[in-house]
Amino acid sequence: MKKIYYIILSVLITILGMFILTGCNISIDSSDNTTNSSVSLDKAQIYYLDVGQGDSELIRLPTGENILIDAGLKSGSDQLTAYLKELGVDKIDILIATHPHADHIGGMEKVIENFEIGEIYMPKIADDQIPTTATYTKLLETIQAKGMKINQAKAGTTIFSNDNAALEILAPNNTEYKDLNNYSIVTKLTYGNNRFLFTGDAEKESENEMLSKGYDLSCDILKLGHHGSSTSTTNQFLTAASPSAAIISCGKDNDYGHPHQETIDKINSSHITVYRTDLDGTILAETDGTTYTITTNLKSVSKSS
């Protein structure tokens, strides 16, 4: 018992010391397991990376910034870092760990070790819920070893902006949740007139908070919460987001039955085009700020692919 107590105490001290406050046309293309390594001079690129039963998105702006949201499982970390290098990424300007579950942060240790990192954003977890998993602890140790600080995600703040792009944090909106999923950092990218919503594993409780706060949730592409689980994507949230396309990040034949049929039926009845990493591989959305295109079947980066 003493050993467990000291492990938890050590993690708590580490975290407390590390946190600082801080309408379109669509065209679709299909590739064949290729890598798109070009960075357009006038388009933003959003990769919904196929990391198996996990989550990871890469935003590449024509002004040169790279933003990585989550990094999938540890088992696919070598494939993820290799793919990022194939794309020509040498710096992650903003790294976002939506919440401390292994299928979202497992590959982040390797990313931090292999790339120059600008800023890191994580949610602050209530003291009695701080994970003591090896994955989470190792991530914190890696951040500390690199001499970096963690920026606490604050809903209602804009963490990046330039003439044509902005990235806002819309959740979490509370300081304590029963389920770690609801600590998920939810972000919205605006590029010109196009908008992209990234929800991590945020569930109904967090979605309702965003609705009650009156945030503008409207978007062109919605990355569904919790891998398309029925615990997320309420009718009210989907109506507020009103996307043209939805992305589901999940692994083939996963043990959780993601995406749940209830969610698929809801998306289909709303006449929203659905893309799934388990069926479509890595998915790329490119936008010039007015229209966007979607390319499917780019290279998968999960170990099982």
Residue 3 confidence (pLDDT): 45
Residue 25 confidence (pLDDT): 44
Average pLDDT, integer, range 193-201? 98
- Structural contact between residues 263 and 239, judged by C-beta atoms closer than 8 angstroms: no
Return the SS3 of 132: coil
What ranges do the domains of the chain cover? 2-22+24-298
Give the architecture (CATH level 2) of 2-22+24-298: 4-Layer Sandwich (3.60)
Mean pLDDT over the full length of the chain: 89
Token pair, residue 285, equals 């959305």
Residue 222 confidence (pLDDT): 98
Residue 34 confidence (pLDDT): 55
Is the pLDDT score of 41 beyond 70? no
Q: Where are the alpha helices (DSSP H) in the chain?
A: 2-18, 77-86, 102-105, 108-114, 134-145, 204-213, 235-241, 261-269, 277-280
pLDDT tens string 69-117: 999 999 999 999 999 999 999 999 999 999 999 999 999 999 999 999 9
Instruction: Compute the 3-state secondary structure of the chain and give helix, strand, coil in percent, each to the nearest 5.
Output: 30, 30, 40
Amino acid code (one letter) for 285:
A
Q: Give Cα 270 distance to the centre of its chain.
A: 24
Residue 4 confidence (pLDDT): 46
Virtual torsion, Cα 250, 198, 237, 99, nearest 10 deg: 80
Q: Which of 39-43, 124-128, 253-257 has the highest mean pLDDT?
A: 124-128
Task: Please tell me the number of Cα atoms within 13 Å of 40 on its side-chain side.
Answer: 15
